[in-house]
Chains A and B, each alone.
Chain A
Amino acid sequence: MNFKTRLGLGILAFFTLIAVVGSWIAPYGPSAMSDDLLSPPSGAHWFGTTTTGQDIFSQVLVGTRGVMVVGLVCGVLATFLSILVGVTAGFLGGAADEALSMLSNVFLVIPALPLIIIVASMLPSADTVLIAAVISLTAWAWGARVLRAQTMSLRRRDFVEAARASGERTWRIIVFEVLPNLVAVIASGFVGTVIFAVMLQITLSFVGVVSLSTWNWGTILFWAQSNQALGQGAWWWFVPAGLCIALLGTALALINFGIDEYANPRLRKVRA
């Protein structure tokens, strides 16, 4: 494991920890107002306060959980869907493959963001879990596409042919012969999905179609934008949340590079 991968894992572990303990270590309630209106970062308020005197540091800490939960739930759900569709398509081939590939390509090509915005704003209460489910429904297609291609090449390998020739049941071949060889691809698809889901959730919160009763980094940015934080020069209102998003995204991308380099040795750094 190289430095980049370790750095990525370290940052991810840090945010996971915050997601668990964030609401306990937060110095204030995220929605609690105070008399320090729109004050820049200080000893009392590390990341400053909002126009209603809410502590932004506490909001970031508490909001981490919402982000991580959506990332995890979507990652698991969408990865499951992508394995189901991609591996089945790649392994069965023929008409089933045509139909499933077409399905995943349709989901890939349709612009997800406006569609999710419509769905989310039509839902009576768009809470975290519901949003995670909706995002998962649009996030599986890329992984399915990659898995299909990998499965197709695996299917022609000797050990799979041998298992087929010996009359092994299809689902057993898939679970015991094919899936173990797809672990790297599945892992990288999982991480990619988490990135996608986190970005989408924050975006949806920012444009205000997600219920604002739970905090996440996007909600902070929504309030910053709707209270003209920019025009008032309150950079501290939107910088911390944005940096957290970028850091988390970078960490996940670094982990994915590690997986890619493991799976594709040509990408490894040239040794001196």
Chain B
Amino acid sequence: MSPVLEIRDLSVDYGSLRAVHDVSLTLNAGEVLGLAGESGSGKSTLAYAATRLLQPPGRVPSGEVLFKGHDLLSLTEKQLQVLRWNEIAIVFQGAMNALNPVISVGTQIDDVLRTHRPSMSRPERAARGRELLSLVGIPVDRLSSYPHQLSGGMRQRVMIAMALALEPEIVIMDEPTTALDVVVQRQILGQMMRLRETLGFSIVFITHDISLLVEFSDRIAIMYGGRVVEEAPASEIYRAAKHPYSQGLLSSFPALRGPRRELRGIPGSPPDLRSMPAGCPFHPRCPSAMDVCGERMPALEPVGERRRVACWLEGVHGLDTDSNGAPAV
């Protein structure tokens, strides 16, 4: 598998507060990469920073985002504009507010085509609009509808149709189905996965609902306090999550498939950017916290062949590998 998007040591600041710390992630061709975490974990901030959609006062002090050999962070606004939606499209929480309420969905799809495919004629664009709607299973006469005339699920499908308009390499889905009921949620995600197989794009799937990721993604990265704390194939996360936070997250959602298990939440609440705990940010809520956890942040290190974990519980962090700090157990 070849990488299509490589995020290297990316950090994001809001004013003087660091929201994302040196995150490195790779998205491979045709893959679904899941990004999980509670609100405030930095998962959406990471995605917006990587696609240069971050609003002030957010900014990126360091890092690279490589797409086809170019660093997205150093492109000019003009170069970036050509690349946007052509290569990287985003499906937002469309059920809520991602569609412009005062222009028709057809026009909003047409906007994309008119900007990026200036050679297309008006009837060609209209035909493409109809084609896209039928691709996601919406009656084509809905092209002239306004967002308020569509149900939440339909709006989300429109967002997906719009994202696929230019056949991008990468589709980023940010909480795409949060406001929908469970049945519609799964219908839409299932459809998205089938479209991925036929059209062959890669997906970054951001959600707080880890059970959806287990079901629909190939690989999962779990974020906490602006850092990736565990990354592994979805099946391995589901079978045996290593990080106590991953375990907590898994146990707070019911799994649709597989054996039933006890539902437990994670005690406490996600840390505030303004008062991030010292050491591992999760240690105040961690059931297995040790003294060292409150003092130093463990690095994200490989565990086995296909997993990376940032936790003092993992042997690779053993005190012997730590060269510049006193053991504190």
Contacts and interface: CB of A to CB of B under 8 A. Distances in A.
Interface of A: 270-271
Contacts of A271: 15, 57
4 contacts: A270-B56, A270-B57, A271-B15, A271-B57
Contacts of A270: 56-57
B18 to A, nearest CB: 15
A261 to B, nearest CB: 15
Interface residues of B, number: 3
A75 B127 CA distance: 60
A16 B139 CA distance: 67
Nearest to A272: B57
A270 B54 CA distance: 14
Contacts of B15: 271
A271 B59 CA distance: 11
Interface of B: 15, 56-57
Dominant secondary structure at the B interface = loop
A270 B57 CA distance: 6
A233 B298 CA distance: 80
B25 to A, nearest CB: 28
A270 B56 CA distance: 7
Contacts of B56: 270
Give 4 closest A-B pairs by Cβ, nearest first. Answer: A270-B56, A271-B57, A271-B15, A270-B57
A271 B56 CA distance: 8
B141 to A, nearest CB: 35
B54 to A, nearest CB: 13
A271 B15 CA distance: 7
B293 to A, nearest CB: 33
A270 B15 CA distance: 9
A111 B56 CA distance: 43
Contacts of B57: 270-271
A270 to B, nearest CB: 5
A254 B56 CA distance: 24
A271 B55 CA distance: 12
Nearest to B14: A271
B243 to A, nearest CB: 33
Nearest to B57: A271
A270 B14 CA distance: 11
A259 to B, nearest CB: 22
A264 to B, nearest CB: 16
B109 to A, nearest CB: 29
A271 B13 CA distance: 12
Nearest to A270: B56
A271 B57 CA distance: 6
A130 to B, nearest CB: 47
